[in-house]
Amino acid sequence: MGLGHLIREVARTDATVLVRGESGVGKNLVARTIHALSPRRDRPFILVNCAALPSDLLESELFGHEKGAFTGAHRQKLGQFEFAAGGTICLDEIGELPRALQAKLLHVLQDLRFSRVGGRELLHADTRVIATTNRDLEAAMRDGEFREDLYYRLYVIEIHVPPLRECREMIPGLAQHFLTRSNRQYQRQVMLPPNLVALMAEYRWPGNIRELENFVRRLVVLGNADRAREELASRVEAARQRDLPSLPAAPESALPAPISAATVAAGLDLKAIARHAAREAERKALLEVLHHVRWNRAAATRILKVSYKTLLSKLTECGISPSRPRPSA
């Protein structure tokens, strides 16, 4: 199921959604799109950045407080859950939510009721919850930083937003969208030359959609496509020249065997041999990286520059267990 189709299907329901992906891939845009396509579209969409506020203020921000609840609480304050009544609340960077608040959020999701800080009245939470994160929540659970019960309460529907390098066919359309918007904003008529569009599709965009949007905005503001192309060409060339991390060799027992003469003689054609060789090379690279990072999968995703979900998929394809192998007795 494609991302667009999944978003449309999810939008028709009130299910809690967990949106995951690297920084800059447009997770908040996905959340806004779900709201805009939902029956709640005419009600508020409230975005709360869980990483932007200290923990002692975040509870009041989310659930409000009563007058006198704490020093400085001179009047009653409504929380974002109340402002989002009938609509959608997006908890951005849910992985940064303090553990003490995770328990309260869990009860809100379970019972659809909450109380303001310092209050006793139970208020109904008629709000759809969408959470976003770029953290490895599974690793956070293992480290005791994220509640397992909250994770499974949020994990009703998961939407993984891929990085631009995994869906380069979207780059020309996104670039044109950002160009149209920036031209309107700055009252310009800048065009995208075909050679620049081709170079955009070649670049990896480590900052994802946010980096692409800023690049196009800068192009419109400066109005110099040749300069923009030179800048992007230097980035592409730097990426080509950048050496892979130096990794120690994995144990010989973990390395795949080369294609044997018997295998070739068994009747494999050239394409099958090439696919087999590519898969074995990929398997060897995965094992070397995992050995280097002591099987820390989150660290492996950063070195390999792939999403956590993609790494798990590759491990399955290559017949590698995600868990660190136990030493033989």
DSSP single-letter state for residue 65: B
pLDDT above 90: percentage of residues in the chain: 49
Instruction: Taking residues 284-301, report their average pLDDT.
Output: 81
**Smallest Cα–Cα separation from 146: which of 98, 105, 104?**
98
Cα separations in angstroms, 301 against 19, 65, 257, 290? 18, 41, 25, 10
pLDDT surpasses 60 at 263: no
Phi, then psi, of 128 in degrees rounded to 5:
-85, 135
pLDDT tens sequence across 147-167: 999 999 999 999 999 998 888
Cα separations in angstroms, 235 against 66, 226, 231? 53, 14, 7
- CA distance linking residue 276 with residue 259, whole number of Å: 8
Regarding the domain delimited by 165-241, which CATH topology (the fold level of the hierarchy) does it fall under? Helicase, Ruva Protein; domain 3 (1.10.8)
What pLDDT, on the 0 to 100 scale, is given for residue 270?
Answer: 60
Longest dimension (CA), the chain: 84
pLDDT tens sequence across 199-249: 998 899 999 999 999 999 999 999 999 999 999 998 888 877 764 454 454
Q: Give every CB contact of residue 55 below 8 A, 6+ residues apart in sequence.
A: 98, 100, 101
Instruction: Taking residues 142-150, report their average pLDDT.
Output: 94
What rounded mean pLDDT belongs to the chain? 85
Show the beta-strand stretches assigned E in 9-94.
Answer: 17-20, 45-49, 88-92
What pLDDT, on the 0 to 100 scale, is given for residue 246?
Answer: 47
In DSSP notation, 195-250 reads HHHHHHHHS--TTHHHHHHHHHHHHHHHT-HHHHHHHHHHHHHHHHHPPPPP-PPP
pLDDT surpasses 60 at 122: yes
Q: Give every CB contact of residue 232 below 8 A, 6+ residues apart in sequence.
A: 196, 199, 200, 203, 215
Q: Give me the helix-helix angle, 297-304 and 270-292, nearest 10°.
A: 120
Task: Find the helix or strand (DSSP H, E) in which 81 lies.
Answer: helix 80-83
What pLDDT, on the 0 to 100 scale, is given for residue 86?
Answer: 95
pLDDT surpasses 50 at 256: no
What pLDDT, on the 0 to 100 scale, is given for residue 1?
Answer: 64
pLDDT tens sequence across 1-27: 678 899 999 999 999 999 999 999 999
What pLDDT, on the 0 to 100 scale, is given for residue 151?
Answer: 95
Q: Which sign does the torsion angle of CA 194, 199, 201, 202 carry?
A: positive
**70 or 263, greater pLDDT:** 70
pLDDT surpasses 90 at 53: no
What pLDDT, on the 0 to 100 scale, is given for residue 321?
Answer: 79
Burial of 44 (0-12, 13-18, 19+ CB in 10 A): middle
DSSP single-letter state for residue 164: G
Cα of 284 vs its chain's centroid, Å: 27
| 8 Å CB contact between 134 and 21 | yes
What pLDDT, on the 0 to 100 scale, is given for residue 273?
Answer: 60
What pLDDT, on the 0 to 100 scale, is given for residue 252?
Answer: 46
Phi, then psi, of 293 in degrees rounded to 5:
-100, 15
Beta strand 88-92 with 45-49 is: parallel
Where exactly are the structural domains of the chain?
A: 3-162, 165-241, 252-317
pLDDT surpasses 70 at 112: yes
Report the CATH superfamily, name and number, of domain 3-162: P-loop containing nucleotide triphosphate hydrolases (3.40.50.300)
Beta strand 128-133 with 17-20 is: parallel
Fold match flag (3-162 vs 165-241): no
Range in 43-47, 111-115, 185-189, 280-284 with the lowest mean pLDDT: 280-284
Instruction: Taking residues 282-299, report their average pLDDT.
Output: 81
**Smallest Cα–Cα separation from 91: which of 44, 141, 51?**
51
pLDDT surpasses 70 at 251: no
Give the tokens for residue 86: 């009938």
